[in-house]
Structure 1
Amino acid sequence: MKVVDGYSGTRRPSTTARYATPPPLRRGPVLVTAAFAALGGALIPAASLAALWRVWQFYAMLFGLFAAVEFVAFVAVLGWPTRKTARAGALVAAAGLALWVASRPLGLLTRFDPWQPADTVVGFTDYAAAALQVVAVFGFLVVARRRAHPRPSAPRRVSAWIVLFPVLLLVLATGTAGTVAAGDNITGSTATALLDGSTVEYCRPDGIPLVMDLARPRPDARAAPVALFLHGGGLVVGNRKPAGPGALLAGSRLVPLRDALTARGFAVAAIDYRLAPAARWPAPLTDARCAVRFLEANAAALNLDPARITAVGTGTGGTLASLLGVAREPESPVRAVAALDAPADFDFAGQDPLTRAAILLALGRSPATLREASPLTYPAAGAPPFLIEGGRKSAEFAVHLREAGVPVTTGAGDPAAVAGFLAAATGAPG
């Protein structure tokens, strides 16, 4: 073996040869943020798979496949951070984003909207998942295209983490909140020995099953009057449940109202309705009307009195209840309405920026839509008795009703007063 300058004939690899294969990437803030954004974008649809499976198994399997592939990409890109795995992560995140675009903005999945089960607590949960996928695609592409720095200086690493740490926190918070909202399986209906409870599907608009929790007094020979409860939340957040994330977001007053009403012999039907922006107006009102028709059509099977159906709602749920009273369908069976802290008008005049943004998200900016969603714009003649407690332009709404000869009670919104009002309006025993 020939030795030259102290080295054997085996040639040492040149610097160029040694770096023909790019060095591994460091797990810097851009890579970590992109990876957790991809994970959040995968977990949000995965959390709604159980509900989606009950509607159509094909969509559930499709969403489950995408979530599984993206989880594998998350593990790969953090376990083996190279340009190749970063490109793969970007490709998988882009495919998940394309699925959202095809199903929601383009509406190409025509049987029904597969994202709707994820939007039952927050109406823009799917938009959060799409935003996370955008962050993941952008972050992975940045990492895959920039030059590697095997040994960046300590000040460079620290400054990068300081700049991007708030973004990482926002990504983690969005992914966690979206997953909890899409799953909504932390709490169910509160059980109680005093009530005979059941959950039934009351309507299926556009293939989406909507459910109702029906709390009835103990079995009685008499058919019970019923109060349809509509939760608040600005038509954007909330659900029918008495506890859990939906109740927290809606500021639910269901439990004390339910207890007071059942003590008066009422059945209480609490419903989910479709939320904005996933479902545009008048979807919530359409669902509320469908619930009234369901109660009337199934009164005998549920031991309810179809002639004594009432509506009670808090916040924008109270607005929907008011619309059941003034924007009545022909032969509407609603006998009384209790609107608690319910806006009677949605014009933008004098509104603070946050309220304006909430109205835009829920209803858009069309003057015709804003008028259609405002009880104050409807003629009051023929409306049932009203109880009104607070809310934007509620005093004007009360005057509007009284001028049409409608009996109105104001300023008494505690549960006992609501129960007493509905009992008096329907002739229920005190």
Structure 2
Amino acid sequence: MSDAALGTGAFSGPIGNAEPATAKRGPLLIIALSAASGGTAIYLAPLAAVWRMSWPYGLLFLALGAAQLGTGAGVLARPVPRRLLLAATAALVVVTLWALTRLTGILPGPDPWMPGNSVIGFTDYVCAALEVIAVAGLAGAAVLGPRPQRRLRRATATAAVAPLTLVVLLGSFVGVAAASDGLAGAGFPADAVEPSNLPAGQRSTVEYCRPDGVPLAMDLYMPSTAARTGRPMPVAVYIHGGGTILGDRKTTGLGATLANHEGALFTPLRRQLNARGFVVASIDYRMPPGAPWPASIQDAKCAVRFLRAHTAALGIDADRIGAWGGSGGGQLASLLGLAGPGAGFDDGQYLDQSSTVQAVVDMFGPADLNDFDDAPPFIRLCLAIGVGDSAETRRAMSPNTYVTANAPPFLVLHGDRDEDVFPRHSFGFARRLRAAGVPTTLIEVHGTGHTLDTPGQRPSPQQLTDTVTAFLVNTLG
């Protein structure tokens, strides 16, 4: 029988051995693979911290990463439907794991995404979004076959490619940078030590609390031997800023940049306070939306209780603890001074200890989170992501809500050109404090915005450093 009669001319090979259709390596496939690679890099970047927190989750992330990288390489080599669907399935498993741990919480153990959120509180959401794009793109390429341009309108496809590619690349870059703290290593550090016999004149990192199984780091800057008086030392707790959703305690890396430590005069204040015999404690805390309110204030209060629980080991005075911070850190420092046990924020470890502080320095912190209607778009976006639109939640986060006569002395500083948190926040806050009988000093800094380290400002950064140091020395004895 002839070939024509058999119809073999319509196939590239014998009947039953036809090669599967190969998808075109076009924009759809490239976007999908880029999204899958970006998502994989995000959850693998803090793998060491995940492993230290929970080795089963670390092993699971490692296996998922190997699966995604392997299936992605297979698709890139030969994008046949079977390989496309395998790669889509691997990405779908990651999305499913994220949903089960983040949205439902039905899986046991600590949240494995939290180490990746230590610099930006929504890094895991970026990862999940990239994986969703990967699932859709890979599955779509498998269904559409070798010539998707015949089934899609070319103009529509072209219009969608450029913005989607930009979203994928930008999301991948931001996510990887955040999950790795700019390649400096995010999440709980490997060099943490026990809070006893810490070397004088040096920085040591300790674990101060473990809410829901997530270890939180505190950097303790101990004064030199020469600066110590022989009596228990006072403590100044520093809480970093970052619009409620950004930053970390470290002095280098992406998190340090986002936290604006310079604006809160952290380094010069830390040096002066150490020279005056203070222990300086700088903390990480869980940030929204990965850890919704009130996680951040619960962590700050747990840090104070930790210090009181280890007074003997650290050589500190439980009755001389102050707090300071800038922006969102100023808000949390104010809440430490105002929100007592009745606020319901004391949760977790060391509950036999008090979380009160004896002095507060609030640097350009928001006092009323419902008063941001005229704020810049980026600030409103940060609040929307980290806080949401609930007026009741915003009220619960606002220091104005908790002003009472029992509050410790306050020093409030704010730049007259601040367009992120308008000066009216601090002016109104100081009036409330004074009306309640709280010893309050308000300093308006001329010539600066959402920071206290602008050249030419009045008072100067050095003068403000001296003022804050004197305030803490005087109030904490």
Match of 2:73 in 1: 75
Secondary structure of 2:103's counterpart equals coil
Deviation at 1:380, TM superposition (A): 2.4
Match of 2:235 in 1: 226
Match of 1:168 in 2: 165
Match of 1:282 in 2: 294
Matches within 5 A, 1:308-319: 308-319=320-331
Match for residue 367 of structure 2 among 344, 347, 367: 344
Match for residue 318 of structure 2 among 287, 306, 317: 306
Match of 1:202 in 2: 208
Deviation at 1:9, TM superposition (A): 11
Query: Take 2:387 and 2:72, find their aligned partners in 1: how far apart are those partners?
Result: 37
Query: Take 1:417 and 1:369, find their aligned partners in 2: how far apart are those partners?
Result: 34
Match of 1:404 in 2: 436
- Percent identity among equivalent residues? 42
Matches within 5 A, 1:21-36: 21-36=19-34
Mean alpha-carbon deviation: is it higher for 271-280 or for 259-268? 259-268
Matches within 5 A, 1:45-56: 45-56=43-54
Deviation at 1:341, TM superposition (A): 1.2
Structure 1 residues 28 and 332: alpha-carbon distance in aligned structure 2, compared to 1, 3 A threshold:
closer
Match of 1:146 in 2: 144
Query: Take 1:151 and 1:145, find their aligned partners in 2: how far apart are those partners?
Result: 13
Amino acid at match of 2:176: T
Is structure 2 residue 118 aligned with structure 1 residue 120? yes
Query: Take 1:368 and 1:246, find their aligned partners in 2: how far apart are those partners?
Result: 29
Extract unaligned runs of 5+ from structure 2. Answer: 190-198, 343-353, 415-420, 446-451, 453-463
Is structure 2 residue 82 aligned with structure 1 residue 84? yes
Are the counterparts in 2 of residues 36 and 74 from structure 1 also a CA contact under 8 Å? no
Deviation at 1:205, TM superposition (A): 0.7
Amino acid at match of 2:236: A
Query: Take 1:209 and 1:95, find their aligned partners in 2: how far apart are those partners?
Result: 26
Are the counterparts in 1 of residues 333 and 361 from structure 2 also a CA contact under 8 Å? yes
Deviation at 1:312, TM superposition (A): 0.4
Mean alpha-carbon deviation: is it higher for 94-103 or for 344-353? 344-353
Match of 2:92 in 1: 94
TM-score with structure 2 length normalisation? Answer: 0.81
Query: Take 2:372 and 2:356, find their aligned partners in 1: how far apart are those partners?
Result: 34
Structure 1 residues 160 and 321: alpha-carbon distance in aligned structure 2, compared to 1, 3 A threshold:
same
Are the counterparts in 2 of residues 29 and 165 from structure 1 also a CA contact under 8 Å? no
Mean alpha-carbon deviation: is it higher for 379-388 or for 361-370? 361-370
Deviation at 1:44, TM superposition (A): 1.2
Matches within 5 A, 1:336-415: 336-348=359-371, 350-352=373-375, 353-390=377-414, 391-392=421-422, 393-411=425-443, 414-415=464-465
Secondary structure of 2:93's counterpart equals helix
RMSD over aligned CA atoms reads 2.8
Deviation at 1:333, TM superposition (A): 4.3
Query: Take 1:222 and 1:32, find their aligned partners in 2: how far apart are those partners?
Result: 65
TM-score with structure 1 length normalisation? Answer: 0.89
The count of residues paired between Structure 1 and Structure 2 equals 416
Match of 1:183 in 2: 180
Query: Take 1:266 and 1:301, find their aligned partners in 2: how far apart are those partners?
Result: 15
Match of 1:296 in 2: 308
Deviation at 1:106, TM superposition (A): 1.4
Mean alpha-carbon deviation: is it higher for 13-22 or for 240-249? 13-22
Are the counterparts in 2 of residues 238 and 246 from structure 1 also a CA contact under 8 Å? yes
Amino acid at match of 1:52: V
Amino acid at match of 1:236: I
Amino acid at match of 1:74: G
After superposition, what is the alpha-carbon deviation per residue over 1:170-211, rounded to whole angstroms, capped at 9, x for unaligned?
Answer: 21221222122222374489xxx9932110011111111111
Secondary structure of 1:129's counterpart equals helix
Extract unaligned runs of 5+ from structure 1. Answer: none
Query: Take 2:160 and 2:210, find their aligned partners in 1: how far apart are those partners?
Result: 47
Deviation at 1:223, TM superposition (A): 2.7
Amino acid at match of 1:339: D
Are the counterparts in 2 of residues 23 and 150 from structure 1 also a CA contact under 8 Å? no
Is structure 2 residue 475 aligned with structure 1 residue 422? no
Amino acid at match of 2:403: P
Amino acid at match of 2:169: L
After superposition, what is the alpha-carbon deviation per residue over 1:374-410, rounded to whole angstroms, capped at 9, x for unaligned?
Answer: 1111132111111111244110110111112211122
Query: Take 1:49 and 1:323, find their aligned partners in 2: how far apart are those partners?
Result: 33
Match of 1:257 in 2: 269
Are the counterparts in 2 of residues 307 and 333 from structure 1 also a CA contact under 8 Å? no
Match of 2:280 in 1: 268
Mean alpha-carbon deviation: is it higher for 229-238 or for 216-225? 216-225
Amino acid at match of 1:415: T
